[in-house]
A and B are shown apart, each in its own frame.
Chain A
C-alpha cells in the first residue's frame, strides 16, 4: 500500500516533525498513506474525481489538525477517520450519474496480503462486487463499507454518520441484501 515501508518509530518521528511545522515530514506521510486514503475515498464516494478531491482535502485537514494529534491511535487510523469524515462532508457535491460511479471502477486496484488461492478467488469476484457496491445507494454503501470492508463497529459507524445504532444495523441489513441479490440473483435466474 505504501511506496516505502517505515517502522512505527520512524513514523512517530515524522508525525512529531510534521506537528512542529516540518512540511517535508508531512509530505513523506502523504506519500506513505496516499493510496490508503485515496482508496477509502473511492469506496466512500464511489466517484474517482470526487475521491481525488476528498483525499486531498483529508490531507489538508490532517495538516491543520496534526499539532493536536496526541498519538493515542496510529497515524493511519487517525488519517482513515479524517478521510471518512471528509467523504461524508463532500456527499452533497457527489455527482449522481451512473456513468461516474462505474467510471470509478476503471482504476486498477492492487491486492495485498492475501494468500494466492484466496487472492485468486477474491479477484474473480471483485469486479462484480465493486460494481454492486458502486450501485448501492450512498447511505447503504457507507455502512457496508465501514462495517464489512473496514471492520468498524456499529457504535463507531453510528457516531461518525450521526445516525442511531439501529439505523446503522438496518442499513447494513438492507445493503447486504441488495448486494446478495446483485451478485447471485441473475445467476440463479439464468440457471
Chain B
C-alpha cells in the first residue's frame, strides 16, 4: 500500500462518488486495483444503506389501539386545544403560583404594619 493508497482510503468515506477524489487521487485510483476495490466497497456500503430505506420493521401488534388510548389523556387534549406544550403550561402554573404567594406575602406585611402600635 503506497502513501497515495492511504490518502485515497482516508478520503473515500467522506465522498459520495470517486469522481470527487480530485485529479491526482482519481488518476491514481484509475490505475490502482487496491484503491478500485476500496472504492467499490464504499459504493456497495452506500447502496446497501440506501436500500434499507425500503425495509420496514412491522410495528408490534396492538400498536394503533395503544396510541389511540394515549390520545384521550386529558393533558394531551388540553395541550392540543390550547396549542401549549406541557413545559409552557407548567411554567405558566408555576408563575401564577409564585404571583399568588408574593401577593399574599405583601398583604400580610401591609396588614402587620397597619396593626403595629405607632
Binding site for B on A (CB under 8 A): 1, 23, 26-27, 30-31, 34-39, 42-43, 51-52, 55-56, 59-60, 63-64, 67-68, 107-114, 118, 122, 125-126, 129-130, 144, 148-151, 169, 172-174, 176-177, 179-180, 183-184
Contact = CB atoms under 8 A, between A and B. Distances in A.
Contact of B41 (A31, A109, A180): A180
Contacts of B117: none
Nearest to B73: A60
Contacts of A179: 45, 49
A169 B13 CA distance: 10
11 contacts: A30-B63, A30-B67, A38-B59, A60-B67, A63-B71, A64-B80, A110-B57, A149-B49, A149-B53, A176-B45, A184-B41
Scoring B14, B50, B59 by chain A CB atoms within 10 A of each residue's CB, the highest score goes to: B59
B60 A110 contact: no
A113 B53 CA distance: 10
A109 B13 CA distance: 27
A67 B68 contact: no
Interface of B: 13-14, 41-42, 44-46, 48-60, 63-64, 66-68, 70-71, 73, 76, 79-80, 83
A84 to B, nearest CB: 13
A143 B45 CA distance: 15
B13 A68 contact: no
Contacts of A27: 64, 67-68
Contact of B63 (A34, A169, A174): A34
Main secondary structure of the interface of A (DSSP, over half): helix
Contact of A150 (B46, B53, B63): B53
Nearest to A62: B67
A63 B63 CA distance: 15
B57 A38 contact: yes
A108 B41 contact: no
Contacts of B68: 23, 27, 30
Contacts of A107: 57-58
Nearest to A148: B49
